[in-house]
Amino acid sequence: MALQNLIFLFFSLLIAQFPFSTAQNVVKATYWFPDSGISASDINSTLFTHILCAFADLNSQTYEVTISSNNQNSFSTFTSTVQQKNPSVKTLLSIGGGNSKASDFAAMASQASSRKTFIDSSISIARSYGFQGLDLDWETPQNDLEMSNLGLLLDEWRIAVNNESSDSPLLLTAAVFYSSDHYSVSFPVDSIGNNLDWINIMAYDYYTPASYSSPKVTGAHALLYYQPGRVSTSSGVDSWTGAGLSATQMVLGMPYYGFAWKLVDPENHGIGSPATGPAVSSDGSIRYVDIKAFIQNNAATSVYNSTVVANYCYSGTTWIGFDDVEAIRAKVSYAKEKGLLGYFTWHVAGDDNWVLSQEAYSGWN
């Protein structure tokens, strides 16, 4: 082999070994919101690379991003507060959320002028409050036109964000449905891939006790692997990959909460056992920290099912499906093996003495 070829080979190997990339190494994120049970200063931010502060609002008249008066204080000090324990943690302001009106977002995204108002106000509010990024939580565009307007919004947002600061542009992310298809309406995957740093895949709430369409049997709400008749996290990730999004732009959501069901027969307590509906709360939702207290106080039996990757516990007629350390560990290894960018959790106040956050954090390393 000629010397030139050897030298070329040497440098090729060197470059392959040390890619000149500025991309994120890994995202270990969580969401926080006021009234969640802990204050920003309680967050053990050493366990996260990014913390999302939820939620800023969309003004339905002006289409500006606003922060409600109740949240002014906690949002304006959020970044400096969480950076006290971890100076390198980055913060993002999340806009919208499950309780906001999807139709307001659809109206905003339908006109160039309102998109510009939204975008400009989002950037100026992020900067003035000290956030390093923005997260769109529009749940969810309902039809092809709204999806295509979402694509336009992201195109224009990326241009504006890069124009505002070429040195350190704001991070731009979106919380999205577990699948690239929202009931057969496809997300604008090309625009998402071109414009967002990553998507936060909301990989939970698949199957819940208060949902009227569900058959009344117990089940996991965030199972990783396929079970006949149920959607799963792995099928969602596969759909995003199949639609053309790079795994390196996907951040996998994991719940710090579960759902409680009321069993028909306390002796019949597996996955798929007959149940009448929610227990414990009106929709059955219950935070991990409260599930641990339930297990303790009722001497409940705890089971891990590694086939679907989900934990559950039961005592008397109460059955709770949730993610404990085993499910979190399996999901983190899955995300890593699939080459995903990282994970996020909803929401940080659900954790019990940092057990799940520590499992996830060290599980990735």
Is residue 318 within 8 A of residue 291, CB to CB? The reply is no
Nearest by Cα to 64 from 3, 15, 119, 140: 119
- Site for ligand NAG, residues 332 to 361, rule: CB under 6 A: 354, 358
User: In this complex, which beta carbon is closest to ligand NAG, that of residue 160 or of residue 263?
Assistant: 160
**DSSP state string for 125-155:** HHHHHT-SEEEEE-----SHHHHHHHHHHHH
**DSSP state string for 15-35:** HHHS----S-S-EEEEEE-TT
Listed ranges 49-57, 107-115, 193-201, 303-311: which one lies at the site for ligand NAG (CB under 6 A): 303-311
Least CB distance from residue 230 to ligand NAG, whole Å? 9
Q: Distance (Å, rounded) from C-alpha 318 to C-alpha 262?
A: 5
Least CB distance from residue 157 to ligand NAG, whole Å? 10
Q: Is 308 in the site for ligand NAG (CB under 6 A)?
A: yes
Contacting residues for 65 by C-beta, under 8 A, at least 6 apart: 56, 57, 58, 59, 95, 118, 121, 122, 125
Using CA atoms, how far residue 271 sits from 189, 300, 336, 349, in Å, is 34, 16, 27, 27
Member of 159, 210, 247, 293 binding ligand NAG (CB under 6 A):
159
Q: Which of 139, 267, 337, 359 is catalytic?
A: 139
Q: Residue 61 phi/psi, 5° resolution?
A: -95, -50
Member of 71, 191, 195, 227 binding ligand NAG (CB under 6 A):
227
Member of 91, 305, 311, 345 binding ligand NAG (CB under 6 A):
305
Member of 58, 65, 126, 160 binding ligand NAG (CB under 6 A):
160
Least CB distance from residue 69 to ligand NAG, whole Å? 28
Q: Distance (Å, rounded) from C-alpha 127 to C-alpha 113?
A: 21
Q: What is the DSSP letter of 217?
A: B
Member of 31, 33, 44, 259 binding ligand NAG (CB under 6 A):
44
Member of 72, 248, 298, 307 binding ligand NAG (CB under 6 A):
307
Least CB distance from residue 76 to ligand NAG, whole Å? 23
Listed ranges 2-10, 40-48, 70-78, 282-290: which one lies at the site for ligand NAG (CB under 6 A): 40-48
User: In this complex, which beta carbon is closest to ligand NAG, that of residue 240 or of residue 314?
Assistant: 314
User: In this complex, which beta carbon is closest to ligand NAG, that of residue 54 or of residue 223?
Assistant: 223
Using CB under 6 A as the binding criterion, the count of chain residues that bind ligand NAG stands at 14
Q: If DSSP codes are grouped into helix, strand and coil, which group holds residue 193?
A: helix
Side-chain half-sphere exposure of 320, counting CA atoms within 13 A = 31
Q: Distance (Å, rounded) from C-alpha 329 to C-alpha 179?
A: 22
User: In this complex, which beta carbon is closest to ligand NAG, that of residue 73 or of residue 307?
Assistant: 307
User: In this complex, which beta carbon is closest to ligand NAG, that of residue 104 or of residue 352?
Assistant: 352
User: In this complex, which beta carbon is closest to ligand NAG, that of residue 41 or of residue 70?
Assistant: 41
Q: Distance (Å, rounded) from C-alpha 47 to C-alpha 358?
A: 7
Pairing of strands 181-182, 257-263: unpaired
- Site for ligand NAG, residues 108 to 147, rule: CB under 6 A: none
The tokens of 354 are what? 């940092």
Write out the E strands in the chain: 27-32, 50-58, 65-66, 90-96, 133-137, 171-176, 181-182, 185-186, 198-201, 250-255, 257-263, 275-278, 285-287, 301-305, 310-315, 318-322, 342-346
- Site for ligand NAG, residues 240 to 279, rule: CB under 6 A: 271-272
Listed ranges 17-25, 33-41, 68-76, 155-163: which one lies at the site for ligand NAG (CB under 6 A): 155-163
Least CB distance from residue 16 to ligand NAG, whole Å? 34
Q: Based on the residue annotation, tell me whether 267 is a catalytic residue of this protein.
A: no
Q: If DSSP codes are grouped into helix, strand and coil, which group holds residue 4?
A: helix
Q: Which residues are catalytic?
A: 139
Which residues would be at the binding site for ligand NAG (CB under 6 A)?
44, 46-47, 159-160, 163, 227, 271-272, 305, 307-308, 354, 358
